[in-house]
Amino acid sequence: MKKIFLHLLLAMAILGVILWIVFSMLSRYTRHGEVYIVPDFMGQDQELVIGQYSNLFRFVISDSLYKPNVPLGSVLQQEPPPGSKVKRGRNIYLVTASKQPEKVSMPNLINLSLREAVVSLETAGLKVNEIRMADHFARFAVISQTLHGAEIAPESLIFRGAAIDLTVGDGGLTEGVPFPMVFGKSSEEALRMIHSAALNVGRESYPASSDSASALVYRVEPYFKPGSLVRPGTYINLIYQSPDLTDFNKFLKDSLYIEEPDTDNAYIDYEEEDEI
């Protein structure tokens, strides 16, 4: 009986050792309870991130987007987000800045109104570079579309964000175009309104204290009162200000129309210009 009892204790001890070894190995294999905090990779170079953390995580580039003025290959988005607790070997999905912009199809703008052409370019991921007037019966209709001085055919593949020059007909115009109400507008809205009015955008200036993402048009140079006549093709400089620094409701109500139009830069009759 005593021998049986000893054998039973020995068997239980052996079983305990075996179970301890199994659970110890299982815990080590699954790294039970061992988690890592996901760092903030935003703005860092993807190759440096992968090289530094590949022993902890498995990186997957889920998308690549082109962002102007953003370092190539930098991380734009990450999932899981910074601060997340994950186990070793977890997939980290990154969206990075591509080496070059994607290509888009050039729309056919010929015979479209200038307003329609501006919208079509925006929809295609393109923008207006310069608007030129030409002697043509169709007033403000697009008669040519060029890129870097060369005609660009519809459906040509070009880089997203490319700036297109538009030549539009003057329709025998003998007076200026009304200056649009761009004050208090965002950059996107102001550019669309100025281009649709057959005007060009010069410099865009943001005071150091202004957030360019939320800044609104505060001044234009040369100054034109909204509704006053301006020569088509005139270049307009835009100065922005942050809504946090300026009460635009009060500004638009009290201060907007104090200045007088700059008549030296106003519309000049084409015939008078030819004589000059």
All domains of the chain in start order, with CATH: 36-97 (3.30.10.20), 102-173 (3.30.10.20), 176-276 (3.30.10.20)
- Under the phi-then-psi rule, with left for phi > 0, alpha for psi from -120 to 50, and beta for the rest, what region is 89? left
Q: Is 24 exposed, middle or buried (0-12, 13-18, 19+ CB in 10 A)?
A: exposed
Is the previous residue joined to 80 through a cis bond, with omega within 30 degrees of 0?
A: yes
Condensed to tens digits (0 to 9), the pLDDT of residues 68-122 reads 778 888 999 999 999 999 988 899 999 998 867 788 999 999 999 999 999 999 9
Give the pLDDT confidence score for residue 244 in this predicted structure: 82
Beta strands across the sheet bearing 142-147: 127-134, 163-169, 142-147, 150-151
Q: Taking a C-beta distance cutoff of 8 angstroms, is the pair 175, 140 a contact?
A: no
Q: Which residues contact 128 (CB under 8 A, 6 or more apart)?
A: 118, 121, 163, 164, 166, 191, 195
SS3 content of the chain, % helix, strand, coil (to 5): 25, 30, 45
How far is Cα 186 from Cα 194, in angstroms, rounded to an integer? 12
Kindly indicate the confidence band of residue 275, based on its pLDDT and cuts at 50, 70 and 90.
very low
- pTM of the model as a whole: 0.63
Lowest mean pLDDT among 28-32, 106-110, 139-143, 192-196: 28-32
Residue 103 has phi, psi (to 5 degrees) of: -95, 145
Nearest CA among 250, 179, 189 for reference residue 214: 189
Condensed to tens digits (0 to 9), the pLDDT of residues 158-197 reads 998 899 999 999 998 878 999 999 999 999 999 999 999 9
